[in-house]
């Protein structure tokens, strides 16, 4: 490799499977651009994710040297004990029971979106995979459905800006300064719902649950609530949108996968896990080493930045046979690290899987076998965010 691999460079990070294999073959830990320590193999990656005392989560996915005020951090940017308390709030607000109760809405929304598609050509990302998760998140939060498209535009603007890496844009530092309209909208909804609950409103949407729940006998401060709501809105745009897009892309380019799912819909659950493993919507997680340690026998010093390469670990041949291939019947596909591991497992994972299962199922129900095909000359174009993997466009035509 001529230039050091840089996971924070979108041009290098999102299509680096050959590079990651070379790094993985060389050892469990690689020093890459910026003196970052990149964890390449599964066992070592899982160990780092489990060890929250040695590896701090505070830096999140920000570029090296970027510090985020505690009150403005997303869930994935908090360390215990604050992370433990706030995650408990998120898990309580997003229980499997809540997700299950949302499934009829997911199904009806998917059907409406598919009904609205043109009869000849359309972009599945713009009209379906990038829309369905947003609609579901708005419903769960209890936001006005009429605001869905505006929230999606704000979230997309944020994710494709300098903010995810630098915590700033040319408008200012921090979420409220960098995206004042987005932050103002969330603040207004929190204030509105807080007043409604104080007046005796008994609604039980996710926003109401977040407002009601307490950490150490105190309600979450408004800025922390804002960060968690932003987490939910942008999370739907990233993880779930890319999961849905990645799996539908596989259906479009693998006729044998489509045939298998049509013959046995029960295989869809494994297909979702295999998609999460092979093409993870989030490519890596960043940690800060806070005390001298070792990873795979390699010394790591306090103060060094560690990048847990889920995209590499998920293709570790020591764990996954024929790791670069998509196998719809893989018996350990769900062992991937895409949603994290240990105390940092994503609390929205159940919802993401439900949206993918219902969303892909709706496409299989609506269109006949082979009815959709990618437009002639299609070239896969990645989303422009450095830590994401997913199609920016899926232009298709009906046959």
Token digits of residue 266: 């029960």
Domain ranges of the chain: 10-367+376-398
Question: In the Cβ-directed half-sphere of 17, how many Cα atoms lie within 13 Å?
Answer: 11
How far is residue 39's CA from residue 26's CA, in Å, rounded to a whole number? 11
CATH 1.10.630.10 is the classification of domain 10-367+376-398 = yes
Determine what percent of the chain falls in helix, strand and coil, rounding each to the nearest 5. 55, 10, 35
Scanning 318-397, the segments in alpha helix (DSSP H) are 349-366
Token digits of residue 68: 């985020």
Q: Determine the pLDDT at residue 166.
A: 87
Token digits of residue 370: 């082979």
> 43 pairs with which residues across the strands?
none
Helix (H, G, I), strand (E, B) or coil at 55: strand
Residue pLDDT, tens place only, 5-22: 999 888 877 678 999 999
Confirm if 354 and 101 have CB atoms less than 8 A apart: no
Confirm if 374 and 252 have CB atoms less than 8 A apart: yes
pTM equals 0.92
Confirm if 74 and 340 have CB atoms less than 8 A apart: no
Most confident segment among 89-93, 124-128, 157-161, 384-388: 124-128
Q: Is the pLDDT confidence value at 65 over 90?
A: no
Residue pLDDT, tens place only, 305-316: 999 999 999 999
Residue pLDDT, tens place only, 284-337: 998 989 999 999 999 999 999 999 999 999 999 999 999 999 999 999 999 999
Q: Determine the pLDDT at residue 94.
A: 82
Q: Shortest CA distance to 107 belongs to which of 145, 142, 135?
A: 135
């Amino acid at each position: 490799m001529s230039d050091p691999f840089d996971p924070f460079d979108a041009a290098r990070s999102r299509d680096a499977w050959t590079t990651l294999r070379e790094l993985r073959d060389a050892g469990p830990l690689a020093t890459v651009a910026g003196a970052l320590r990149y964890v390449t193999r599964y066992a070592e990656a899982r160990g780092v994710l489990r060890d929250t005392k040695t590896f701090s989560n505070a830096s999140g996915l920000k570029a090296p040297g970027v510090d985020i005020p505690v009150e403005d951090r997303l869930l994935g940017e908090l360390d215990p004990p604050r992370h433990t308390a706030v995650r408990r709030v998120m898990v309580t607000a997003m229980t499997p029971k809540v997700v299950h109760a949302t499934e009829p809405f997911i199904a009806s929304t998917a059907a409406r979106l598919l009904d609205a598609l043109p009869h000849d050509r359309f972009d599945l990302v713009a009209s379906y995979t990038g829309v369905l998760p947003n609609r579901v998140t708005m419903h769960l939060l209890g936001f006005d459905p009429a605001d869905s498209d505006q929230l999606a535009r704000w979230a997309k603007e944020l994710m494709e800006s300098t903010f995810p890496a630098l915590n700033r844009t040319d408008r200012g530092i921090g979420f409220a300064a960098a995206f004042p309209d987005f932050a103002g909208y969330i603040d207004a909804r929190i204030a509105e719902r807080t007043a409604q609950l104080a007046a005796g409103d008994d609604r039980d949407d996710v926003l109401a649950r977040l407002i009601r729940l307490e950490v150490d006998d105190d309600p979450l401060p408004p800025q922390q609530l804002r960060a968690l709501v932003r987490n939910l809105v942008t999370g739907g745009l990233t993880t779930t949108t890319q999961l849905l897009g990645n799996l539908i892309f596989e259906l479009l380019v693998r006729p044998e996968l489509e045939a298998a799912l049509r013959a046995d819909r029960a295989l869809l659950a494994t297909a979702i896990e295999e998609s999460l493993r092979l093409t993870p919507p989030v490519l890596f997680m960043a940690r800060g080493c806070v005390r001298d340690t070792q990873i795979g026998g390699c010394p790591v010093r306090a103060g060094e930045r560690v990048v847990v390469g889920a995209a590499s670990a998920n293709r570790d041949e020591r764990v996954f046979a024929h790791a670069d291939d998509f196998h719809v019947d893989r018996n350990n596909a769900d062992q991937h690290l895409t949603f994290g591991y240990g105390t940092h497992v994503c609390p929205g994972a159940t919802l993401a899987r439900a949206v993918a299962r219902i969303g892909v199922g709706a496409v299989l129900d609506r269109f006949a076998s082979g009815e959709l095909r990618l437009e002639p000359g299609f070239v896969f174009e990645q989303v422009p965010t450095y830590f994401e993997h997913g199609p920016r466009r899926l232009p298709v035509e009906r046959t």
